């Protein structure tokens, strides 16, 4: 019930109700539901996830990562992202061994000050390490796992990353919004569901490993 409550609140937030929370108090909710404002974000929230230790993490489109406790504090981490149109910080997932290694994964569109920025926005999957020495201004612990994912027009970026029961990373990507045939092009990362090992290497049982003209 607790998980349902928080996800319900997050859905309200992403629908634009977060900034109009007082109005909710006068609305009649279905039986068993209650309205409670737990946080106010300056930018559009794009994902909320529970870490394996039970903590609540919220990310927003502008590139900020928040660790929610009893209230919403300053960002735990802020990335340089391109946040125009549908770009930005778009997805978060946690390593199954997060409690031991502190690893979490972010999918975002690179901005000019991003690590290894190449002159135009691209979508990227990176691994970060949560710990007491973590810098909030820039990711000192960033390890890029997959880079240069299409973001041609600013639209259709994807990013709802998950870790499956097989302990593999699943990365849904958009076609980039400009070249619709990217999805059918097996040599292009856009418009796909990508699958990686947690260290960024390619699983040997991916379906296109060893096939000519296809990224594995």
Indicate the helix (H) or strand (E) that contains 22: helix 21-24
Q: According to the model, what pLDDT value does residue 2 have?
A: 45
Token pair belonging to 187: 């040599």
Query: How far is 13 from 97, CA to CA, in rounded Å?
Result: 30
Query: How far is 107 from 122, CA to CA, in rounded Å?
Result: 11
Averages of pLDDT over each 10 residues, the chain, 216 residues: 46 43 66 86 91 95 90 87 98 97 97 95 96 63 95 96 98 96 97 98 98 96
Could you tell me how many helices (H) and strands (E) the chain has, helices first? 3, 11
Q: Token match 């019930």: residue?
A: 1
Query: How far is 64 from 188, CA to CA, in rounded Å?
Result: 28
Q: According to the model, what pLDDT value does residue 9 have?
A: 47
DSSP 8-state class, residue 2: H
């Amino acid at each position: 019930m607790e998980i349902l409550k928080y996800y319900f609140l997050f859905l309200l937030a992403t629908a634009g109700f977060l900034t109009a929370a007082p109005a909710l108090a006068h609305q009649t909710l279905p039986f068993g539901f209650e309205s409670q404002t737990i946080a106010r974000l300056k930018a559009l929230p794009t994902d909320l996830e529970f870490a394996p230790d039970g903590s609540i993490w919220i990310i927003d489109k502008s590139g900020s990562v928040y660790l929610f406790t009893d209230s919403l504090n300053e960002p735990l981490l802020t990335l340089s992202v391109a946040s125009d149109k549908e770009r930005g910080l778009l997805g978060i997932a946690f390593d199954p061994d997060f409690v031991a290694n502190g690893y979490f994964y972010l999918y975002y569109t690179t901005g000019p000050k991003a690590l290894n920025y190449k002159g135009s926005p691209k979508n990227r999957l990176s691994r970060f390490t949560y710990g007491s020495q973590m810098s909030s201004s820039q990711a000192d612990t960033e390890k890029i796992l997959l880079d240069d994912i299409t973001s041609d027009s600013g639209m259709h970026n994807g990013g709802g990353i998950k870790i499956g029961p097989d302990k593999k990373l699943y990365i849904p990507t958009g076609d980039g919004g400009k070249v619709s045939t990217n999805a059918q092009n097996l040599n292009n990362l856009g418009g796909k569901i990508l699958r990686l090992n947690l260290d960024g290497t390619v699983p040997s049982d991916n379906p296109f490993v060893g096939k000519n003209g296809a990224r594995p």
